[in-house]
Amino acid sequence: MSGTQERPLRADAARNRARLLDVATEVFTTRGVGVPTEEIARAAGVGVGTLFRHFPTKEALLEAVMVRRLEAIAARTADLAAASEPAEAFFGCFRLVIEQSAGKNEFTQALAAAGVDAHAALQESSQAIRAQLADLLARAQQVGAVRAELGLPELVALLVGTGAMMELLGADPAARERIFEVVFDGLRPH
Amino acid sequence: MSGTQERPLRADAARNRARLLDVATEVFTTRGVGVPTEEIARAAGVGVGTLFRHFPTKEALLEAVMVRRLEAIAARTADLAAASEPAEAFFGCFRLVIEQSAGKNEFTQALAAAGVDAHAALQESSQAIRAQLADLLARAQQVGAVRAELGLPELVALLVGTGAMMELLGADPAARERIFEVVFDGLRPH
Amino acid sequence: MSGTQERPLRADAARNRARLLDVATEVFTTRGVGVPTEEIARAAGVGVGTLFRHFPTKEALLEAVMVRRLEAIAARTADLAAASEPAEAFFGCFRLVIEQSAGKNEFTQALAAAGVDAHAALQESSQAIRAQLADLLARAQQVGAVRAELGLPELVALLVGTGAMMELLGADPAARERIFEVVFDGLRPH
Amino acid sequence: MSGTQERPLRADAARNRARLLDVATEVFTTRGVGVPTEEIARAAGVGVGTLFRHFPTKEALLEAVMVRRLEAIAARTADLAAASEPAEAFFGCFRLVIEQSAGKNEFTQALAAAGVDAHAALQESSQAIRAQLADLLARAQQVGAVRAELGLPELVALLVGTGAMMELLGADPAARERIFEVVFDGLRPH
DNA sequence: CATGAATGAGTATTCATTCAT
DNA sequence: GATGAATGAATACTCATTCAT
């Protein structure tokens, strides 16, 4: 309903594209990336042909899904970072990223893949997050809220790893909180 | 009445079985579980038929690989636990488990799956490790070396998650050490 | 609310489906059901994928072949039964069924299997024939043209068995006729 | 215990061969010819190697099974033929053959195959039966107990076909008897 | 532009047969 | 001779991708 910057598509084409992304996100997140493309198309109410017109490859679809998630995170992170003082911003964003990575470990894998793989599109949008994370980290370190010796790679690893922990624990909120305590206390200078 | 009761296989059969396990471990951990069975057989220098004689299913092969890794870990963990005082034993074993989980995240997934899935064989051998971990944890908590509020599920999650972190960081030893510091400091009472 | 309700397939799709059925009928009846699916697809001029799109299973294809044969027989039997007096109708239909069962003993096996097996589709279309046969038998018995003590199971068995005899004899028309004389004379009251 | 004319084998080898034949007969008859050779070997208490030493091919084993059945039938038929007057001998042997063909339609198929196929061994032993049948038929025809126009091919077809009928009817003795009445009455001159 | 039918390479698994022990 | 481990061709079925309608 707002102005995400896709190149101008016909109204219905844009709607199809959006629906496909929504459905794919849902499906990939809940059932993994092994789900047949045809099933995604059907769930989105379009034919396979349409899916492949919008995303020339299954991998391209996966990438688009990840990009969207990364961008969503980047946007929220930016808001949070702007509105809080460094320590609060850092730990708040850490939580945010973890919370958003719910469902399979698609997202965390995306982050991971982005740091390793050469997928152009992912590279681009993950760079945005990485820059933000680097900034948040630096500022939190300046105010002494986070160990000074940590770099961006370690932060990314900690995010991905903590996401994995949460997946294992499932919905138990108390256990999740205990994990946050361990990780956050560990992040602070000793 | 317990112990390992392998049926005496012919010399060559045993060799093939072992080679298959070695190759499968290597291949699964470096390239994931999607690798064709035929390729594994070829890499082991046997025909597919032989592979399927030893492991009636691809899944069975995967299971066997995991069991072997779990058992190896359990053995080393037991040694370490016996030879050290509680705190040292706990943190030493934590490191050990992480170090052994090298390669993709097969092992960590194994631990994860074992807690959730119903694969009998895995269940059995992962129970052994879980018991040991529970014991190590309890003793470390008794001497005040680890936060009292943590339970076995959190410990397992922390192991799996830390393993994921290490995979992301690759071989950089300094960075790995910084992660250990974060996690270990976080584990200690605050 | 009954009748044939095929979904309107695209022209080419319908052609492919029909060709597959024709080829499969031919191949199964002449060379048995062991023929590879791929060969059937090739003979029909389509890829395996197409075959499996139309018939999700080899068994499903076999079933479809049988259903078509059963329906064809049922239709012709109905015509014949309507147009003749009881004795003529009965023996005419007997001949008809045998003549239609040419080629291996697929059809007879179909009849046999249908009485035993639980394949829904087969059940349905073989029920139609069985009902007709029961009716023909009853009427022929009422006019004293057929032994009164015979039931439907025996009639089906006689059909299947006579079909088997014809297969053995091959194309020799005189020999076939002699078999019909034996069976038909045997069927009449003594 | 008696003198079947196998070439002199070592005692244990002969025992193995006999056991394999027994087991194979049972298994093929009850579960069809699709049963893996290995299973037959196991059921006979020997290794596959042994099976293949005695029967160089699965087909060879099947052939041997059939030959034995044919020979058994031939022997009993000969006895029966010798001890009775023509009509009784003919119909008695007809029943005998049908009764012996119990279980799948292995045997009838064997007879069929023998009349068509070129398997040397089968040819030989089925010739024996065919000769006997021809003889029984001729003598029954001479005394006017069977239609004069029937030849050996029709008789074989009738045997095979009647066997198929019995398989369909299963164990219902009354129904089986009604079939015999139809066929036997049909065989008699009209 | 949308559709969904067609394609065919790819994959796990079976089984008759061979051969080292 | 007997054993059973090894072999690998064969087979049903899947799924990303293309293209005629």
The pairs formed by B119-124 with CB atoms below 8 angstroms and a separation of 24 or more are B119/B63, B121/B63, B121/B64, B121/B67, B122/B63, B122/B66, B122/B67, B122/B70
Question: Are B157 and A169 within 8 A, CB to CB?
Answer: yes
In 3D space, the residue among D185, D190, D188, D177 whose CA is nearest the CA of residue D98 turns out to be D177
Listed ranges A116-130, C172-186, D88-102; the one with the highest mean pLDDT = C172-186
Query: In chain C, which residues from 89 to 148 place their CB closer than 7 Å to nucleic acid strand F?
Result: none
- Nearest residue to E2 via alpha carbon and C1': A50
Give percent of chain D above pLDDT 90. 55
List, for residues C4-19, the tens digit of each pLDDT value.
445 556 788 999 999 9
pLDDT category of residue A4 using cuts at 50, 70 and 90: very low
Angle in degrees, CA D101, D107, D112, rounded to 5? 125
Is the distance from CB of D162 to CB of D179 less than 8 angstroms?
yes
For residue C34, which phi and psi values (nearest 5 degrees)? Answer: -80, -10
What pLDDT is recorded for position A7?
Answer: 56
Q: Which of A152-156, B51-55, B64-68 has the lowest mean pLDDT?
A: B64-68
What whole-number distance in Å separates Cα of residue A184 and Cα of residue B142?
A: 23
Phi, psi of A58 (to 5 degrees): -60, -40
Q: Report the candidate in B116, B95, B109 with the shortest Cα–Cα distance to residue B28.
A: B109
How near does any CA of chain D get to the CA of C180, in Å? Answer: 9
Q: Encoding tokens for residue D182?
A: 């139809």
Please report the pLDDT score of residue C168 as a whole number.
Answer: 85
> Which of residues 11 to 70 on A have a Cβ less than 7 angstroms from any strand E atom?
12-13, 16, 45-50, 52-53
Closest chain C residue to the Cα of D166, Cα to Cα: C157
What is the pLDDT at residue B4? 42
SS3 call for C99: helix
- Which chains sit next to A, with 3 or more Cβ pairs under 8 A? B
B12: exposed, middle or buried (Cβ count in 10 Å: 0-12, 13-18, 19+):
exposed
**pLDDT tens, position by position, C151-162:** 999 999 999 899
B1 against C107, higher pLDDT: C107
Does the pLDDT at position D183 exceed 50? Answer: yes
In strand F, which positions have an atom below 7 A from any protein CB? Answer: 1-21
B15 membership: H or E segment, kind and range? helix B11-31
| C contact test, residue of D158, D184, D188 with most C CBs within 10 A | D158
Q: Calculate the angstrom distance between C1' of F14 and CA of C49.
A: 9
Record: contact C150-D184, CB cut-off 8 A: no
Contact A77, A91 (CB under 8 A): no
- As a whole number of angstroms, the distance between CA A22 and CA B61 comes to 37
Residue with tokens 């003082």: A85
From A59-63, D2-6, D181-185, the region with the lowest mean pLDDT: D2-6
Mean pLDDT value across residues A64-81: 88
The pLDDT tens digits for B91-138 are: 999 999 888 776 555 555 555 556 666 677 777 888 888 899 999 999
Amino acid identity, position D66: M
Identity (one letter) of the amino acid at A61?
A: L
Closest CA to C86 of C43, C137, C35: C137
DSSP A1: -
Q: Which of D5, D65, D9 is nearest to D37 (CA)?
A: D65
Nucleotide E19 C1' to residue B4 CA (A): 31
Provide the mean pLDDT of chain A. 86
What is the C-alpha to C-alpha distance for residues D72 and D77, in angstroms, rounded to an integer? 8
Q: Which of A6-10, C39-43, D148-152 has the lowest mean pLDDT?
A: A6-10
Q: B32 — contact with chain A (CB < 8 Å)?
A: no
B contacts of A179 (beta carbons < 8 Å): 154, 157-158, 161
The pLDDT confidence band at residue B1, using thresholds 50, 70 and 90, is very low
For the beta carbon of residue D17, count every other beta carbon within 10 angstroms: 20
- In the DSSP assignment, the letter for residue C146 is S
Provide mean pLDDT across the span A114-124: 66
Say yes or no for a CB contact (<8 Å) between D186 and C187. yes
Report pLDDT for A9. Answer: 63
pLDDT at C111: 59
Which contacts of C28-31 are long-range, i.e. CB under 8 A and separated by 24 or more positions? C28/C62, C28/C65, C28/C104, C28/C106, C29/C102, C29/C103, C29/C104, C29/C106, C30/C103, C30/C104, C31/C104
Per the CB < 8 A criterion, the answer to whether B84 and B54 are in contact is: no
Q: C29: pLDDT confidence band, cut at 50, 70 and 90? A: confident
The shortest CB-CB distance from A168 to any of B112, B165, B187 is to B112
Q: Do D178 and C150 touch (CB under 8 A)?
A: yes
Containing H/E element for D107?
helix D106-116
The number of residues in chain A equals 190
Q: How many CA atoms lie within 13 A of D20 on its CB side?
A: 25
Query: Token pair for residue B129?
Result: 């490790």
pLDDT tier at D142 (50, 70, 90 boundaries)? very high
Helix ranges (DSSP H) in A57-172 = 58-83, 86-100, 106-116, 120-142, 152-169
B145 touches A148 (CB < 8 A): no
Rounded Cα–Cα distance for residues D183 and C182 (Å): 7
Rounded distance, CA A181 to CA B152, Å? 16
